[in-house]
Structure 1
Amino acid sequence: MQYISTRGASAPQSFSHILLGGLAPDGGLYLPAEYPQVTGAELDVWRTLSYPDLAFEVLKKFATDIPEADLHALVHKTYTADVYRNVRHGEEAARITPLRLVEEKDGSKLMLQALSNGPTLAFKDMAMQLLGNLFEYTLAKQHAELNIFGATSGDTGSAAEYAMRGKKGIRVFMLSPHKKMSAFQTAQMFSLQDPNIFNIAVDGVFDDCQDMVKAVSNDHAFKQQQKIGTVNSINWARVVAQVIYYFRGYLSATTSNEQKVSFTVPSGNFGNICAGHIARMMGLPIHQLVAATNENDVLDEFFRTGVYRVRKSAETYHTTSPSMDISKASNFERFVFDLLGRDGARVRALFQKVETHGGFDLSGKPGSDGDEFKNIAQFGFVSGKSTHADRLATIRDLHAKYDLMIDTHTADGVKVAREHLTPGITMIVLETALPAKFNETIREALGRDAERPAGFENIEDLPQRFEVMTKDIEKMKAFITAHTGL
């Protein structure tokens, strides 16, 4: 299996090579040269597998340069009941990502797939725990070190830090928007005292943090000298690890391969729903992929109109679903690459236009950049938007009707999912996090605190260690250099 860049100007590479690197040298994102296909016979066999065994079957199609015995050991080390211990329905613990039926209406089912049972109570743990083990394995093979430079809007950072803390040969430099995360999210990251973890609060929004990560990644000399890697979803391994739970969700919700399901995904940076796109391209019978945005509705606008219009920092709202407060979805480029028939030159031109003009237009209207929006339906994408009032109403509704408490991002997903139900087709909403991570809004909605798993009772009271910095690339590079000793 070889990997190519979405911008078409980088040489094909192996899985292990791109694992540690992040962006391709031409500034693009890596994708398989072709998507491996899954047969109906394979799906029949996979229905009976445990989560780690399913993960092995999916991943061995992509990580073909890792010996299968080693890959098998890595996934079984990662996906254990001890690591994913916060399952709220004990009888389902062995499934890692259990489904819960929420409601049935007009011949369709609405289900919730629990993805937040890991150590940081967010879906990012599903991929990040694997990534940590893959990094450690690969670095040991190469007798190498890695300095991870990433950005977070709330959940990626803590998931990465908990996955990498104490890992040999790895340091983590994580950017986050200063005072833009929930109190729980902030404490979860900043309270870590491990010497290989560095938290940097940037005076700006998440997009500013993400731009700094890309700028450093595109400085190839600095990247090589300082051994810079990334755990953001620009890293292919992050995305492919998320493909696994789409297969698990489908196989748990159906009894035969003749059935289809839809997935609604709370979407900001497009990484999670991009994994669904990949699963669909592999042959998983997905009817629709529903992108649910908050007030930062760049993706919803595109899937309604064909216009991709990035907002400036000052136009990016700070909302009560802060992990989706993103106006420049870095993973979106992977989907556009497929939408444009894998034309790397056109992708490169369009995303250069994003940098210079703030977006592009594929609506086909006079003066637009193309007419590929007409092909959106064949990829199954639709979208919707949720506001603060919507998420409060949804949290209250599910709690009153079903004694079910959900977080703010998942509430955005449920609200939009209800707008796209299709008779006879199960809709699965991907859970984003446990409600305890956004207790301020839970208290506003329900007048009570969210329950907390053991060990998180007073996390906000712990001492915090972090640096506040401006959006200065050179100062950021100097900080990294000063703390790596390279």
Structure 2
Amino acid sequence: MELFNLKDNTDTASFAQAVKKGLGKNQGLYFPQQFSSFDNIDEILSMPFVERSVEILTRLIGDEMDKEDVKSIVEKAFIFGAPLVEVKDNVYSLELYHGPTLAFKDFGGRFMAQVLSVIAKGQPITILTATSGDTGAAVAHAFHGIDNINVVILYPKGKISVLQEKLFTTLGDNIHTVAIEDDFDACQQLVKSAFDDPEVREGLHLNSANSINISRLLAQVCYYFEAISQLEADKRDNVVVSVPSGNFGNLTAGMIAKVMGLPIKKFVAATNSNDTVPRYLKTGQWEPSTTVATLSNAMDVSQPNNWPRIEALIEQGFIDKKLLVGDAVDEEYTQVAMKQLAQLGYISEPHAAIAFKSLMRFMEEGDTGIFLGTAHPAKFRESVENVLGQPISLPQPLADCAGKEILSAELPSDYKALKAHLFATLKG
């Protein structure tokens, strides 16, 4: 699998190299210039989830990894399902939160951890990543206890839910967490600065587990196929998929699935008030605003890192820009959507509610709608209970960590302070 740096096409990498490096020169994203589509899509959709995922990932990675290795990785990573649940006539929620940390990022995090454990061959690695909520837990649990791999997770202090925080800040061992006194965009910038610093990048053998890492992105392609496979055959021709979007890795994966032959009619990029992409799609002007805090905090991103990959898919002719629409849902309508879903007998959290609201705005007669449920409602227990006025019970993974001590360090949004902390923690 040959990957090209989207900022410098002379900078190429194999799949293994891209997984280990994370970012290319000038903070560029690695991405394929060619994709292979399935000509037997009905046969692919008829396969069980794990078996189908092996076929998808083998097709994407190519002959760089033995198919048996891919099979072993997938079997260890995808130990949970992604059920498609009917919410109302022709409207479904793809529930991606049945993994160990109750969020869609378990798919990418666990796949990446297994891939790295194979290709690292015992060499030391430091995973440095930023999280706006769910990435941290998925990455922490995926890598917890793996020999020779340290994980450092930056997150915006006070801007994620307490239960989200406790899922990844209470593990200890090889998992190191840092609360940054700023927003998620600042956390991402600190990560980028570290990768631009040769002393840190090479001295600590840096790797990123954000959705910018190609391994996480490819893993996410698989659950789009799983969604369509659960629809009756006569409902697959006019599918509209609404994706709650923050850093835009999830939507990128869906578009790759489309390029590989998955029958999807339209994508809706659903954001909260941090609406850089919906405004860009309407005006053609890329004008990020200051990030604002919302109920859907995992989407509080004004400068999404994965957007260049979507631009590449469009510019290279793989995706027709007309297949993508953007929509922003404010705080009032987020709460309205949560209540509407509850009236339908479906309890949801703010991110999925935004995707549902946007889906309802763009579905046409004869369409089948799917919105992505990216996290268990209990991960946002306080806001869900406040909006719906009813208690939410804690699933076991959250109950287990609720009473544990947070082990995070706290730092200002200052690269020099972070650099000193990294060397003191990992080299001390």
**What is the TM-score of this pair, normalised by structure 1?**
0.84
The reply to whether residue 391 of structure 1 matches residue 334 of structure 2 is yes
Aligned counterpart, 1:58: 56
For residues 103 and 208 of structure 1, what CA distance do their matches in structure 2 show? Answer: 40
Aligned counterpart in structure 1 of residue 160 of structure 2, from 170, 181, 187 = 181
Aligned counterpart, 1:148: 127
Alignment check: 8 A CA contact 2:228 2:236 kept: no
> What residue identity is the alignment partner of 2:52?
L
For residues 196 and 365 of structure 2, what CA distance do their matches in structure 1 show? Answer: 47
Aligned counterpart, 1:475: 417
Unaligned runs of 5+ in 1: 85-95, 343-374
For residues 446 and 186 of structure 1, what CA distance do their matches in structure 2 show? Answer: 23
Alignment check: 8 A CA contact 2:314 2:321 kept: no
Identity value in percent:
30
What's the CA shift for 1:218? 2.0
For residues 167 and 376 of structure 1, what CA distance do their matches in structure 2 show? Answer: 38
Structural mapping, 1:28-43, within 5 Å: 28-39=28-39, 41=40, 43=41
> What residue identity is the alignment partner of 1:58?
I
Relative to structure 1, the CA distance from residue 263 to residue 136 in structure 2 (aligned partners, 3 Å threshold; closer, same or farther) is same
Structural mapping, 1:260-275, within 5 Å: 260-275=238-253
Alignment check: 8 A CA contact 2:137 2:167 kept: yes
For residues 335 and 183 of structure 1, what CA distance do their matches in structure 2 show? Answer: 32
Relative to structure 1, the CA distance from residue 36 to residue 257 in structure 2 (aligned partners, 3 Å threshold; closer, same or farther) is farther
Alignment check: 8 A CA contact 1:295 1:317 kept: yes
What's the CA shift for 1:399? 1.4
- SS at 2:59's partner residue? coil
Structural mapping, 1:103-122, within 5 Å: 103-104=88-89, 109-122=90-103
> What residue identity is the alignment partner of 1:477?
K
- SS at 2:230's partner residue? helix
Aligned counterpart, 1:79: 78
What's the CA shift for 1:462? 1.5
Alignment check: 8 A CA contact 1:443 1:449 kept: yes
Relative to structure 1, the CA distance from residue 48 to residue 340 in structure 2 (aligned partners, 3 Å threshold; closer, same or farther) is closer
Q: Deviations over 1:285-320 (max 9, x none)?
A: 211110111111111111222221112xxx311111
For residues 341 and 35 of structure 1, what CA distance do their matches in structure 2 show? Answer: 11
Single out whichever of 71-80 and 2-11 deviates more from structure 2. 2-11
Structural mapping, 1:231-250, within 5 Å: 231-250=209-228
For residues 283 and 425 of structure 1, what CA distance do their matches in structure 2 show? Answer: 18
* Number of residue pairs matched by the alignment: 427
Alignment check: 8 A CA contact 1:9 1:26 kept: no
- SS at 1:468's partner residue? strand
For residues 415 and 10 of structure 2, what CA distance do their matches in structure 1 show? Answer: 25
For residues 170 and 328 of structure 1, what CA distance do their matches in structure 2 show? Answer: 29
Aligned counterpart, 2:193: 215
> What residue identity is the alignment partner of 2:327?
G
Aligned counterpart, 1:226: 204
> What residue identity is the alignment partner of 1:406?
S
Structural mapping, 1:74-473, within 5 Å: 74-80=73-79, 84=80, 96-104=81-89, 109-140=90-121, 143-193=122-172, 195-255=173-233, 259-311=237-289, 315-341=290-316, 378=321, 380-401=323-344, 403-457=345-399, 459-473=401-415
Relative to structure 1, the CA distance from residue 192 to residue 247 in structure 2 (aligned partners, 3 Å threshold; closer, same or farther) is same
Relative to structure 1, the CA distance from residue 257 to residue 293 in structure 2 (aligned partners, 3 Å threshold; closer, same or farther) is closer
What's the CA shift for 1:458? 6.2
> What residue identity is the alignment partner of 2:302?
S
What's the CA shift for 1:455? 4.0
What's the CA shift for 1:442? 1.1
> What residue identity is the alignment partner of 1:131?
M
Relative to structure 1, the CA distance from residue 242 to residue 474 in structure 2 (aligned partners, 3 Å threshold; closer, same or farther) is same
Relative to structure 1, the CA distance from residue 138 to residue 254 in structure 2 (aligned partners, 3 Å threshold; closer, same or farther) is same
The reply to whether residue 22 of structure 1 matches residue 22 of structure 2 is yes
Alignment check: 8 A CA contact 2:235 2:368 kept: no
Q: Deviations over 1:401-458 (max 9, x none)?
A: 2x21011100011011100112222111011101101111111122122122124226
> What residue identity is the alignment partner of 1:132?
A
**What is the TM-score of this pair, normalised by structure 2?**
0.95
For residues 206 and 11 of structure 1, what CA distance do their matches in structure 2 show? Answer: 28
For residues 241 and 309 of structure 2, what CA distance do their matches in structure 1 show? Answer: 19
- SS at 2:21's partner residue? coil
For residues 298 and 76 of structure 1, what CA distance do their matches in structure 2 show? Answer: 37
Alignment check: 8 A CA contact 2:96 2:373 kept: yes
> What residue identity is the alignment partner of 2:54?
F
Over the residues paired in the alignment, what is the CA RMSD in angstroms? Answer: 1.9
Relative to structure 1, the CA distance from residue 126 to residue 376 in structure 2 (aligned partners, 3 Å threshold; closer, same or farther) is closer
Relative to structure 1, the CA distance from residue 154 to residue 249 in structure 2 (aligned partners, 3 Å threshold; closer, same or farther) is same
Unaligned runs of 5+ in 2: none
Q: Deviations over 1:264-305 (max 9, x none)?
A: 000011110011111122222211110111111111111222
The reply to whether residue 4 of structure 1 matches residue 4 of structure 2 is yes
What's the CA shift for 1:190? 1.8
